[in-house]
Structure 1
């Protein structure tokens, strides 16, 4: 991911407004027919998810005062329509549709320089008897700490996280068993005007391994 520099406040506020208005009914007329309801012409993703294959864009709108205005976008890819899953033999026998394999990629940013990005994938095998989930994310959060005197002290959290899990269905039940591994590394830094000046003497790395999990 290439970052050219922190965007201006005007640009980010314009982006937030555009993402919000893009979901309004007045813009539905510019959308493809499969993204609108045939009855009222409003935004409706039902047909897109049930009958079509492709990428579903999901906008992120951020209005959190701690990081300022911002936004982002997540692209979610389904390897098959949900309607196809209901037409498979597994649905006829058990009444449960096999979920599609899903891949998601997203990124976000705010006006104070906070950045984040992630990628994840969920996969199933043998009519949803086996499940795999993997995700990797990175965030560079710039925040302020207000002490007893009420004066803000800027700090930065630069972190990377990873999670992987593999699950096996227990017979014909909805219980799943299997290993899961989660890893997180965070570098906390003190900062001035949003720029790191030194590394705080805090815990920098945390790693958790779960050899067995139930869900």
Structure 2
């Protein structure tokens, strides 16, 4: 069993390296293309992405406290622009914009020895009006989890989680509307080791040290945003219900619901407001490393967990000079086990600022850096497009 897993890991690593090498080789064969925008002469990757099938190498500095506080990642992202499609339903024709195809890889390493490598793709089967997402990867993550122990208060527990994972999602557009519906599948196989001293934590069940999670569920989604990277207006509303079951090959039986909405609106010509509301709910026997947690800038991953969570973030983007923008944002959330505990659960607050640069005007793609303060620490993030990209 262990030899098979080692072979799988080696194969996936070789595939990732081959993928990256092929992409760089393809890019080097293309003729020179200007990196200046013809409209304002500023640095811009639009023509490079469109005409040379170029990629955007997204560097990422990892400051996640639960992963050791420092690390790095490189995410080469390839974007293919898709022309509008003349759709036809019952004899009625309509020009339909198509989101770009996005293909990428990821490689990560942090100072506490965590690493991850993976591949992903999102695209559209145009004639079928189906949007899809596919991805997978493997890694070894050293992660801290927190629990409140009677008479001792909050305690930190360190684990190593070796995992390989895969996800598939396909949603179909309903008529000419902005509504979609479809299915999602998620798989992860994990080997968990407790790295702290003393006795094994009581909140970890024996099965959780070596197990498989296999989930299948349904999705309903509304998406009328004007852009998939850095929207200026519109909203995305998402609701899904996922079942983990022995029938799908899982070692667990439980339900998981996720609901969220992102809303964008121009407040003035140069000021864009954004609102995020995000919540998760689980029912049944959930492994501790997959419990919902508060996911906000400035808050350590898995720092605040429960069987349910809900949070909200408000942000403003001020396009103050040419391609440059300033960000201001703040958020609040709670994690709890039962809704009856909501009132007594601790509010987790964060706030911060940052900047963006319009790096690809024809895609309305902005990149930048955010600096955020949570209840325990400061953190900074390199942002590709939007911080809200679920």
- Fold equivalence (TM over 0.5): yes
- Structure 2 equivalent of residue 73 of structure 1: 74
Q: Within 5 Å, give how 1:1-80 maps onto structure 2.
A: 1=13, 34-35=34-35, 39=40, 41=42, 43-49=43-49, 52-67=52-67, 68-78=69-79, 80=80
- Structure 1 equivalent of residue 206 of structure 2: 201
Work out which of the residue numbers 163, 175, 190 in structure 2 matches 1:171: 175
Change (3 A) 1:44 1:159: same
Work out which of the residue numbers 214, 220, 223 in structure 2 matches 1:214: 220
Change (3 A) 1:94 1:206: same
Distance 2:128 2:46 in 1: 23
Change (3 A) 1:160 1:136: same
Question: Are residue 134 (structure 1) and residue 134 (structure 2) matched?
Answer: yes
- Report the aligned-residue RMSD: 3.3
Distance 1:191 1:177 in 2: 42
Distance 2:97 2:51 in 1: 14
Distance 1:96 1:40 in 2: 31
- Structure 1 equivalent of residue 201 of structure 2: none
Higher helix proportion (structure 1 or 2) = 1
Change (3 A) 1:64 1:178: closer
Deviations 1:141-196 (A, max 9, x none): 11345674777653212222211122221111111222221122332211269xxx
Name the SS of the counterpart of 1:66 in structure 2.
helix
Name the SS of the counterpart of 2:195 in structure 1.
strand
Distance 2:86 2:176 in 1: 15
Could you tell me whether the CA contact under 8 Å between 1:102 and 1:123 is conserved in 2? Answer: yes
Distance 2:169 2:145 in 1: 35
Moved over 6 A (4+): none
Distance 1:111 1:188 in 2: 19
- Structure 1 equivalent of residue 7 of structure 2: none
Higher relative CO (Cα under 8 Å, sequence separation at least 6) belongs to: 1
Could you tell me whether the CA contact under 8 Å between 2:160 and 2:192 is conserved in 1? Answer: yes
Name the SS of the counterpart of 1:109 in structure 2.
strand
Distance 2:216 2:195 in 1: 32
